[in-house]
Amino acid sequence: MDKQWIIDTIGQFAKIGIGEKGITRLAFSDEEQQAKEYATKLMQQAGLVVRVDAAGNVIGRLEGTAEDAKVVLTGSHLDTPPDGGRYDGVVGVVGGLAAIKELMARGPLDNHVELVVFSAEESSRFGYATIGSKAMVGLANPAMWNRAKDQDGMSLNEAAARLGFSFADLKDAIQDAEKIKAFVELHIEGGPLLERTQHSIGIVEAIAAPTRLRIVIDGQAAHSGSTPMDERQDALVSAAMIVLAVQEIALGHQHEGTVATVGIMRVFPNAMNVVPGRVELGVDIRGVNHSSVIDTLQDIKDAISTIADGQETPVSIEVLVSEKPVVLDDDLVLTVEGVCHELELSFLRMNSGAGHDTMNMARIVPAGLIFIPCHEGISHNIDEYAAPEDILNGVAVLTETLYKLAK
């Protein structure tokens, strides 16, 4: 394994979209496209045959020799949130290519091995995540995506079309599950658990899925000077109570692996001299245990209705997204575990709080997700850091896992 190449190549990707406060390669932006083109060049240099599907997913293929060969698929993404880091996604793409290069050096394999760079994994630009892998497994929703606009008013479909990808042809991106043996992704943990418990490798058993709510609190906008305190219907006061209730409820469900966050608050009219008449909140609830997520959701709804009544501020709740947690393939977990034993690397079976492309792939093929530690759990930030030793351990585990699946 060419260790220096791996570290250097991650450094090369970090130059694409670099700004003062981080790396910005938004979904279907020129920067993401540039990173994909660089990945294409590297795949071709390695001797892979590269194709691009209708969703803009880039796929490099190493041909297997068996007559009934199936595809062993690995990969990740190259887009980032605004001011993101060097490792999220990139480790899985560069690590995947390094693994395939090592497999090539070992001689012909029975099965095909493919490396995929998924389009638009991050939701920052359009509000929809894992676009490329959704398209690949038939979960694309171009009609809905067409209504999703970025800050400049450009729709997701337009942004893709600008780069030459026609969402009218998204059906062509769907992969035939019968032809795929397994999918394995290498990724930084994006959380603090591995570093804190001093494990080299995380073997993911389940991926939490988000339930997202849009909450609108209607109060009565009024003059902040002349409206008596006991006659107000202050929407922001109710919103503040809801934020605290969400935190308290989620703390009570934390032991079941569930978390909840109020990440959006919009105040109207947002003026110093007006009692807030309306507030919109965005709430994100996640867990790996579906019934715990449902319980958390119900508790939040109950608390909101109590607050709405008590404060005389009507509240409406809209469920934007409610996805079921994904359980990953048991056999693959055991395979990766076996590899860790062979390589004498400490490992931890764990859950993923964040969504990944693996989540979609798991709906149609056996799928696995391998985590490496990242410093202090920091991710989606310029301070995101994975130590070279941890990256190389991850690539070694990925390499042997792919070898077992493909040989």
Q: For the chain, how many residues are written? A: 407
Task: Return the number of the residue (56 or 89) whose C-beta is nearest Zn ion.
Answer: 89
**Number of residues counted as binding Zn ion (CB under 5 A):** 2
Task: Return the number of the residue (185 or 234) whose C-beta is nearest Zn ion.
Answer: 185
CA-atom Rg of the chain in angstroms:
23
CB of 356 to Zn ion, least distance (A): 6
Binding of residue 353 to Zn ion (CB under 5 A): no
Are 99 and 398 spatial neighbours (Cβ–Cβ below 8 Å)?
yes
Span near Zn ion by CB under 5 A; candidates 88-96, 159-167, 226-234, 236-244 = 88-96
Locate 99 and state its tokens: 């693994």
Task: Return the number of the residue (78 or 315) whose C-beta is nearest Zn ion.
Answer: 78
Task: Return the number of the residue (190 or 277) whose C-beta is nearest Zn ion.
Answer: 190
CA atoms within 13 A on the CB side of 151: 7
107 Rama sector, left if φ>0, alpha if ψ -120 to 50, beta otherwise = left
Binding of residue 150 to Zn ion (CB under 5 A): no
Strand, helix or coil at 78?
coil
Binding of residue 88 to Zn ion (CB under 5 A): yes
CB of 268 to Zn ion, least distance (A): 34
Q: Which residue's structure tokens are 């998204």?
A: 170
Span near Zn ion by CB under 5 A; candidates 85-93, 159-167, 217-225, 366-374 = 85-93
CB of 218 to Zn ion, least distance (A): 37
Are 55 and 136 spatial neighbours (Cβ–Cβ below 8 Å)?
yes
Distance CA 280, CA 238 (A): 11
Which of the 8 DSSP states describes residue 255?
A: G
Are 209 and 286 spatial neighbours (Cβ–Cβ below 8 Å)?
yes
CB of 88 to Zn ion, least distance (A): 4
Nearest 5°: the CA angle 291, 139, 76 is: 90
Span near Zn ion by CB under 5 A; candidates 83-91, 200-208, 218-226, 276-284 = 83-91
CB of 122 to Zn ion, least distance (A): 7
Neighbours of 178 (CB within 10 A): 8
Binding of residue 195 to Zn ion (CB under 5 A): no
CB of 89 to Zn ion, least distance (A): 4
Interface positions, 89-128, toward Zn ion (CB under 5 A): 89
Q: Name the residues that contact Zn ion, by CB under 5 A.
A: 88-89
